[in-house]
Structure 1
Amino acid sequence: MRILSIQSLVSYGHVGNSAAVFPLQRIGVDVMPVPTVCFSNHTGYGAWSGPMLSGDNVRDIVSGIEDRGGLENVDAVLSGYQGGNDIGDAILDAVARVKKHSPNAIYACDPVLGNATSGCHVSPEVQDLIRDRVVPHADLIAPNQFELGFITGTSPDSLSSTLEAADKARAIGPRTILVKNVVRPDRDPDTVEMLAVTDDGAWIVQTPQLPGKANGSGDVTTALFTAHLLRSGDAADALARTAASVFELLEITAASGQRELQLIAAQEAYANPSMRFTPTKVR
């Protein structure tokens, strides 16, 4: 399996490609990482160093890959945070190039917009870009519940309303929706839930909620789910494997007392997930 992953790169810590690439490689995926920024660390620290790449920089890298024949036999294009129209246009151009050479490739997009606590934390330009131009071109999207609501103009706050919002998103373009954080009033407050919706049905999986917040865990989640779904074609299996791997990664990170994901220490969780969480079919 081969994936072109267009995301941010940090040298210290793990977000974007610095979070997604190694877990994918550990499960046997050939990853071609393309950076959108080259920062010392993620911006959550409040200070960082390094350059932002332009859309033309991204196009140049993808063009060089294309010249080597690297866009043949690609299974997916994966993208995360998009800083503006410049990068967004370059990613959409890369998707078109890949599908020209690999017609069966999918575009898997993590539509990073914000969360229910702080609202949208990207510019209005990026909000419009994601909702109006990126999502319609995606085959798979992996929003949180807030982002799903923003994309569809809804306010999902229950399982039924989240399923309805997922159907509205699927009507826009993507056939597969992974909702990475479903919050509903009848859920055990000490748990976290993810929902996958495809043409074949909908499944939800529940795991215990661990203390703390680790930047980059969403990037790992999207990457692993995309790869597992491509490999098996079974959304329930992909959801179970992803939930098991990410939970163990977060468990190891919490036990370490470190702020950054313990991506290397948890590597067996990607290759041999414990499969301790069983998704429930809800439709």
Structure 2
Amino acid sequence: MTRNQAQAPPLVLTVAGSDSGGGAGIQADLKTMLALGAHGMSVIAAVTAQNSLGVQGYWELPPEAVRAQLDSVLSDIGADAIKTGMLASTALVETVAAVLAEVTVPVVVDPVGVSKHGDTLLAPEALDAVRSVLLPTATVVTPNLWEVDQLTGVKVVDESGLREAAEAVKALGPRWVLIKGGHLPGEPADLLFDGEREYRFTAARHDNRHTHGTGCTLASAIASYLALGEDVPAAVGKAKEYVTGAIAAGFPLGAGIGPVDHFWRHRTS
């Protein structure tokens, strides 16, 4: 088979913000997709000035620029799965949600509210749009505990509260909810819930502070495995295994928090 006759790998589109430090956002998404055997494509919704110490500023792209990128990719190339991350404003959330409401492929929504360093990445007034128009388009939504509180008012203090959180987020319309419990004490545990079925995923806790990009990486890994043909529980399980290894291999970068290692499976000792 010649190069021109080769079949394209599964196609995954990320709609998110750019991280100039390369550890999270669009950059983390594309690295994850490549590492897992998918072809990554991107719609940039915002540009951040960001390094290992935090986010120094961000600038939204105009809604018409985001819509044009979406239309360009989807009208010609298409996608086998779509992942969303930082959308920043009500206008961008509504623009992206309008497109996602018409697609038939799996959609993974990472409802990004703040950065690893606690910097705000979503305007407070955009929360209503996230709840009302974005989450109903999601095949899987992947909030952390702070985002659960932000979206629903439910505060989780231990693993017993994960089910209540999942039910509260599920009521906003996604098909599946993955509540990320990594910030709880003890062994990290995530809860996947579809309104009836419940799956729990645990992993070893690695003593490594270099975890920048964890949420973006997990959501992109789930989207990649869905594009590869896995069902939701299997995609989440495999994505959890991948991101756990990436956290273990996270490396120092700059003077602050370094990134997870997206290519950890492919490095030689």
Query: Normalising by structure 1, what TM-score?
Result: 0.76
What is the SS of the residue equivalent to 1:253?
coil
Query: What are the ranges of 5 or more consecutive residues in structure 1 without an aligned counterpart?
Result: 270-283
Contact 2:212/2:258 (<8 A) preserved: yes
* Alpha-carbon separation, structure 1, partners of 2:47 and 2:118: 26
* Alpha-carbon separation, structure 1, partners of 2:48 and 2:141: 25
What residue identity is the alignment partner of 2:149? G
Q: Please say if 1:247 is aligned against 2:254.
A: no
After TM superposition, list the pairs within 5 Å mapping 1:1-283 onto structure 2: 1-39=10-48, 41-42=50-51, 44-47=53-56, 52-67=60-75, 69-71=76-78, 74-97=79-102, 99=103, 103=104, 105-114=105-114, 122-182=122-182, 187-188=185-186, 191-198=187-194, 199-229=196-226, 231-233=229-231, 235=233, 237-254=234-251, 256=252, 259-261=257-259, 263=261, 265-268=263-266
Q: CA deviation at 1:213?
A: 4.6
* Alpha-carbon separation, structure 2, partners of 1:106 and 1:247: 23
What residue identity is the alignment partner of 1:47? Q
* Alpha-carbon separation, structure 2, partners of 1:53 and 1:224: 25
What residue identity is the alignment partner of 1:221? L
Cα deviation, 1:195-242, whole Å, max 9, x if unaligned, reads 22235432231321423253212100111123324532151x434422
* Alpha-carbon separation, structure 1, partners of 2:96 and 2:207: 34
Contact 2:35/2:262 (<8 A) preserved: no
* Alpha-carbon separation, structure 2, partners of 1:265 and 1:182: 22
Cα deviation, 1:125-168, whole Å, max 9, x if unaligned, reads 12222223322332210001232233233223333332122123
Of the structure 1 ranges 217-226 and 10-19, higher mean CA displacement relative to structure 2 is found in 10-19
- Give the length in aligned residue pairs: 254
What residue identity is the alignment partner of 2:258? E
Greater RCO, 1 or 2 (C-alpha within 8 Å, sep 6+): 2
Contact 1:180/1:194 (<8 A) preserved: yes
Contact 1:8/1:17 (<8 A) preserved: yes
Contact 2:25/2:216 (<8 A) preserved: yes
* Alpha-carbon separation, structure 1, partners of 2:89 and 2:253: 34
Query: Normalising by structure 2, what TM-score?
Result: 0.80
Query: What are the ranges of 5 or more consecutive residues in structure 2 without an aligned counterpart?
Result: 1-9
Q: Indicate the percent of aligned positions where both proteins have the same amino acid.
A: 18
Q: CA deviation at 1:257?
A: 6.2
Contact 1:193/1:204 (<8 A) preserved: yes
* Alpha-carbon separation, structure 2, partners of 1:264 and 1:161: 31
Q: CA deviation at 1:93?
A: 2.5
Q: CA deviation at 1:44?
A: 4.9
